[in-house]
Amino acid sequence: MSTILFNQIIFGPVKSRRLGTSLGVNLSPQFGKLCSFDCLYCECGFNEDGRKDSRIPTIEEVKLALETKLSDYTKNAGKIDTITFSGNGEPTMHPKFADIIDFTLEMRSKYAPEAKVSVLSNGSQIGKQNVADALLKVDNAILKIDSAFEATTILMDRPQYKYSLAKLQENLIPFKGKFVLQTMFLRGEFEGNIIDNTTKEEVDAWRVLAEKVQPREIMIYTIDRDTPAKNLSKVSVAEMRQIAGPLMEKGYKVTISG
């Protein structure tokens, strides 16, 4: 696999384009990948390449690893901007996700009260009450919607379940004004299909959707590292500015990472 796996439960801190100094938490297998999507651009590779390890860390292992890292790091005067759940897959798929968030918030208050707690999620589990409640407790629930068209999402993000944008929008109702909408913009081709979520039709529909789901903030970005699908290309920052422009004019806070 040409992409990167995080071989630890806690990794970093790393400098994140979008989140500053970020201490990563990986609730997925340490030498594999576990996700309900299988995005063409996933930095962890395709799901099928990451099946050699399927063991997820126990809640006790996560607790010990997080507390050890946070206490050591902050003892040495390190400053963390955010504790970020990301790693080798979809963090909300961990069966103890809600409990893990609870103790993470406690540890944050104890060791790094200035740090935010962020979760990068594809939103596939937010229909579960305990997952939604946990995401509503963190500072930044960063939820992915890459297209306002199901067909494009299916080509680009390859959900491993029956994806429904209508259902996702319904599940997002409690998140209005509270979540960060995250969208990857790219162009390319995969298995004979053209993928382009930057066309006028795509962008117009994406803006309408963004206004409908009412995020607190929007993060748009493009490919930064090697991707498992080879024929994908970046979108320029100038183009992303144009994409986000009308929303920024309406007062939405938009972060663009190229």
Contact residues for ligand SF4, defined by CB under 6 A: 35, 37-39, 42, 44, 89-90, 122, 157
Minimum distance from residue 66 beta carbon to ligand SF4 (Å): 20
User: Which helix or strand (DSSP H or E) is residue 179 part of?
Assistant: strand 179-184
Q: Is the peptide bond before 13 cis (omega within 30 degrees of 0)?
A: yes
Angle (CA) 77-78-82 rounded to 5° is 140
CA gap 125, 128 in Å, rounded: 6
Cβ atoms 125, 135 nearer than 8 A: no
The residue type found at 89 is G
Minimum distance from residue 77 beta carbon to ligand SF4 (Å): 32
Minimum distance from residue 156 beta carbon to ligand SF4 (Å): 9
Tell me the C-alpha to C-alpha distance, in Å, between residue 187 and each of 26, 108, 150, 152, 176: 28, 39, 16, 11, 29
Cβ atoms 174, 132 nearer than 8 A: yes
Minimum distance from residue 20 beta carbon to ligand SF4 (Å): 20
If DSSP codes are grouped into helix, strand and coil, which group holds residue 45? Answer: coil
The nearer residue to ligand SF4, 122 or 147, going by C-beta atoms, is 122
The nearer residue to ligand SF4, 107 or 131, going by C-beta atoms, is 131
Cβ atoms 137, 103 nearer than 8 A: no
Closest CA to 115 of 85, 84, 69: 84
CA gap 63, 1 in Å, rounded: 30
Minimum distance from residue 42 beta carbon to ligand SF4 (Å): 3
DSSP 8-state secondary structure symbol assigned to residue 50: G
Strand partners, 121: 143
The residue type found at 19 is L
Minimum distance from residue 233 beta carbon to ligand SF4 (Å): 17
Minimum distance from residue 250 beta carbon to ligand SF4 (Å): 28
